[in-house]
Amino acid sequence: MKRLVIFIILLVLATPLSAAEIKREKIGEALGNPVYRDQIDEKGDLFSQFYNLFIMPFQKKYLETHKDELEVKDWEIEYVAQYFEKKYNEGIKKKDPELMKQLAATRQQVKEVEKELTNKNLRPGEREALEKEKIFLQTTLKPPGKDAVKSLLSGWKYYRLIYENFGGGRIILEQEGPVPYDAMFKWLKQHETQGDFRITDPKLREAFYSYWKANVNSRYFLDKQRIQSEFLHPPWEPIRKNDK
């Protein structure tokens, strides 16, 4: 009898949860796991939310599969850090006009952010975003440290691998540097075809791919020589002497 009572109590407690689960609207899947509409704030930054919910799960698998190609080695970090430090010091010594202009503009941006931070009416999220922006801007006033260099190399290797494995095409200049615009689209489409993710809501799927819908964008280029010198083999590319 006691066991029967416990079973009935558990059944009663479980029923509201099941009802709540049924009310959730499924809008897609990522590696077979459901994604619900209540996980997305449609008034917020959709792409970052799409990235976390749909792209990140299979991206982790992709990174693991290619970990040997994407590994950032200590000597590479040292090489690139020394390159940027030398270039920065030479520019300061020669008072390179472009570098001086860039540094002055960044210092002005820091001042503007600091002024915004004095606003006592900022919401916590806004203050946090401004603090992060200030830290980022301050790091650009000097040669990148090893952590920044490691991040640069990691992103560069990842994007270059996708470019080489998914048909090349146009490069677009983003905040993190050159990104393989067409190859990234093909990469996503392949994973969607494979069933690694799917978005069943037509409007959200359209929003997911909206980045590639623009027909005019001055930031992308297809010049092969420029792609070689700015993306595939930038001047800071880590090369050992015996590799030349």
What is the pLDDT at residue 229?
94
Give the span between the Cα atoms of 42 and 46, in whole angstroms. 6
Instruction: Record the pTM.
Output: 0.76
pLDDT at 218: 66
Residue 152, phi then psi, degrees to nearest 5: -60, -50
Dist. CA 167–CA 153, nearest whole Å:
21
CB proximity list for 144: less than 8 A, separation 6 or greater: 81, 84, 152
pLDDT at position 17 = 46
Per-residue confidence at 12, pLDDT binned at 50, 70, 90? Answer: very low
123-141 pLDDT, tens digit per residue, is 877 888 888 888 878 878 8
Whether pLDDT at 9 is above 80: no
Both structure tokens of 13 = 């407690």
Please tell me whether residue 237 adopts helix, strand or coil conformation: coil
Q: How far apart, in Å, do the first and last CA atoms of the chain sit?
A: 81
Task: Locate the domains of the chain by residue range.
Answer: 41-71+145-244
- Band the pLDDT of 211: cuts 50, 70, 90: confident
Q: Is the Cβ–Cβ distance between 169 and 220 less than 8 Å?
A: no
pLDDT in tens, 77-117: 999 999 999 999 998 888 889 889 989 999 999 999 999 99
Q: Give the rounded distance of the alpha carbon of 157 from its chain centre.
A: 13
